[in-house]
Amino acid sequence: MPVIGVLALQGDVAEHLAALRRLGADARAVRRRRELDAVDALVIPGGESTTMSKLLVAFELLEPLRARLAAGMPALGSCAGMIMLASNVLDGRGDQESLGAIDMTVRRNAFGRQVDSFETDVVLDGIDGGPFRTVFIRAPWVEKVGPDVEVIGRISGGEADGKIVAVRARNVMATAFHPEVTGDERIHRAFAELVRAACDQSDDDKDTRDR
């Protein structure tokens, strides 16, 4: 069984761990380099992206995590996690680090401040079961994506109509909202399936090389 880590420096760590464990995943908190080395995939939770950036540096995880993502490790980012996975961040701090795992430009706090938090339904391409009830808390949105990034969710209606709020690029998924707080586990299930497929492909590639 693949091991899925949840970056446990700051944010909605317990909620992601609980959602993954309800699906039967081997989910573990990741705070140290040795813990990162022991997982097959990583969830980067919602929280505060500038704080998360500073803590990645302080815990000496920034460059090892960048290397794992560049090597193809699957990842899921929600809200602040989406910001962390972006290649370019607008309205961020000057010293804010990102991981560059998805070729996209993200606008931090695009929907406004904490008092502007809201819920709405979003249809997610490739995820069955009807619209996903989404929770946006000081959320980003995606301004633009590169040619290899698949847009899987947009806001429908209102002033933010058409804004991109969910994407996938190879083995990496990101949402502007918080799937971990809704009780709807379809995004976590889709990610767990993505991780299993990536691990199976890695095993097949290793077997081919060893022959």
Which stretches within the chain are classed as H helix?
13-22, 33-37, 49-58, 62-70, 80-85, 186-210
Distance CA 43, CA 32 (A): 14
Q: Which is catalytic among the residues 16, 79, 97, 188?
A: 79
Known catalytic membership, residue 188: no
Q: Which is catalytic among the residues 15, 97, 180, 188?
A: 180
CB 42 within 8 A of CB 52: no
Known catalytic membership, residue 159: no
Q: Which is catalytic among the residues 178, 185, 193, 199?
A: 178
Cα–Cα distance list, 73 to 5, 30, 66, 105, 116 (Å) = 11, 14, 10, 21, 34
Q: Is 26 helix (H, G, I), strand (E, B) or coil?
A: strand
Distance CA 49, CA 61 (A): 15
Distance CA 78, CA 11 (A): 10
Instruction: Please identify every residue annotated as catalytic.
Output: 79, 178, 180
